[in-house]
């Protein structure tokens, strides 16, 4: 696929069998042979198709950074490691401008890609189709600069860098519209035009949203019409190119292109990381690039993640929560059962209610040593209220008492309202 250099010697034509003796005929033969071979050489460098990538081919594609071609023929620009960059470029430069009038040529490209984030819905950072005067980007940074520029070079008119980005992180410094957009970048990663990622179903003008971080294979078409100075970006989840582009931008790329440029891809990761894959790629100058048949391209093999630790953690957490919930319920039931019912008469007479447990503790279990005497319907004990050292007299109603609750309530009511300096106050 290297560009062919053709050198013809007029003397070789003289050795053709049945050569024409007319010098004019020899000149015409030379002319047409030159045109044929020149066109062959031009087609080799100005049009190419990758249905997957050749592993270990030195001239197949130029790789830089962490970019690699996997054994299944997939080009992987970055893995899911933070703050990395990877690039892949067609190995030889392509003529993008007419040397006579300096007008940029039309071009078209199609490629299939996928972005698989380390954490679902959290991309990092994106990839870009790039046209640049060089394959080497000295000082370029990962993260929001996608391995193309850095803070110093960003917005520098001498960059001559053109890119269409597929960005999965919203960067406020660069004015990104969201974390799922397509942008057209010229000499800067601050997009000249951008739109939320989406596509149109073929023959339908209804727009469909598209998640760049879904891990699905997406085909992108980028077409530049030199006569109209119009750049179109089209996306789809199928092999068929939709009629409507998702992004259209009026621009004369003659102002930014050098005569010869390199074409390729660059991707990067930031604090969060994604694996950026290219499955196939076609490119053509002054014509329509071949659409890719997605079914014939290599695909990502995604082994199921080992969720043993996650499952165990969830199970243990669920068990702990279950035990806690059961314990809470049992505690509340016990508390309710042990809650003594407040009688209506208690609200009327006003004395403080003590639980039986408190009174038993105060009288040391109603020991005989604490017995003070006998009342009308029970025994009276000396006691000390816990935590207050308050001395009290506790009457314990006898089960054999015949006076019943009425007598008890009457006594409590009368004593509860008495106030005298020589009488012990009813608590």
Give me 344's structure tokens. 């209506």
Dist. CA 301–CA 65, nearest whole Å: 23
Task: Write down how long the chain is.
Answer: 427
Ligand-binding annotation for 395, yes or no, is yes
Q: Which DSSP helix (H) or strand (E) runs through 113?
A: strand 107-117
Residue 23 gets the label, from left (phi > 0), alpha (psi -120 to 50) or beta, of alpha
Measured from the Cβ of residue 403, the count of other Cβ atoms closer than 10 Å reads 14
Q: Is the peptide bond before 396 cis (omega within 30 degrees of 0)?
A: no
| Of residues 385, 324, 323, the one with CA closest to residue 357 | 385
DSSP string, 146-197: TTT--TTTTT-TT---EEEEEE-S--TTTT-S-SSEEEEEESSSS-SEEEES
Dist. CA 353–CA 344, nearest whole Å: 13
Measured from the Cβ of residue 75, the count of other Cβ atoms closer than 10 Å reads 26
DSSP string, 34-82: HHHHHHHHHHHHHEEEESS--TT-TTT-EEEET-EE-TTS-EEEE-S-S
- The three-point CA angle 111-86-49 to 5° equals 25
Which positions make up the binding site for ATP? 395
Q: Which residues are annotated as a binding site?
A: 395
């Amino acid at each position: 696929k290297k560009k062919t250099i053709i050198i013809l010697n007029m003397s070789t034509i003289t050795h053709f069998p049945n050569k024409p003796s007319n010098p004019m005929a020899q000149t015409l033969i030379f002319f047409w042979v030159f045109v044929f071979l020149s066109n062959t050489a031009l087609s080799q460098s100005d049009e190419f198709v990758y249905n997957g990538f050749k592993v270990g081919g030195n001239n197949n594609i130029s790789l830089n950074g962490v970019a690699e071609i996997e054994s299944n023929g997939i080009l992987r620009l970055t893995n899911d490691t933070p703050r990395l960059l990877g690039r892949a470029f067609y190995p030889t430069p392509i003529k993008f401008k007419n040397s006579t009038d300096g007008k940029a040529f039309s071009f078209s490209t199609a490629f299939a890609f996928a972005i698989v984030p380390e954490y679902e819905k959290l991309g990092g950072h994106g990839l870009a189709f790039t046209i640049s005067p060089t394959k080497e980007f000295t000082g370029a940074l990962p993260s929001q600069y996608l391995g193309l520029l850095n803070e110093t070079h960003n917005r520098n008119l001498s960059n001559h860098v053109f890119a269409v980005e597929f960005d999965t992180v919203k960067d406020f410094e660069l004015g990104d519209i969201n974390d799922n957009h397509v942008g057209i970048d010229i000499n800067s990663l601050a997009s000249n035009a951008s739109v939320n990622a989406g596509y149109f179903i073929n023959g339908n003008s209804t727009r469909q949203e598209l998640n760049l971080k879904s891990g699905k294979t997406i085909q992108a078409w980028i077409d530049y019409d030199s006569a109209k100075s119009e750049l179109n970006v089209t996306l789809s989840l199928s092999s068929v190119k939709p009629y409507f582009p998702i992004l259209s931008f009026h621009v004369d790329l003659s102002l930014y292109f050098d005569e010869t440029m390199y074409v390729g891809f660059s991707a990067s990761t930031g604090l969060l990381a994604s694996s950026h894959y290219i499955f196939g790629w076609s490119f053509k100058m002054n014509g329509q690039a071949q659409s890719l048949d997605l079914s014939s391209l290599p695909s990502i093999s995604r082994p199921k993640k080992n969720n043993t630790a996650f499952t165990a953690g969830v199970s243990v957490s669920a068990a702990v929560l279950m035990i806690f919930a059961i314990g809470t319920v049992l505690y509340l039931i016990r508390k309710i059962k042990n809650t003594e019912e407040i009688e209506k008469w208690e609200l009327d007479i006003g004395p403080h209610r003590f639980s039986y447990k408190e009174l038993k503790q105060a009288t040391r279990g109603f020991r005989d040593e604490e017995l003070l005497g006998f009342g009308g319907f029970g025994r009276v004990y000396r006691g000390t209220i816990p935590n207050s050292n308050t001395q009290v007299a506790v009457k314990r109603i006898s089960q054999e008492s015949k006076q019943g609750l009425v007598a008890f309530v009457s006594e409590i009511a009368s004593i509860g309202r008495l106030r005298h300096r020589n009488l012990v106050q009813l608590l």
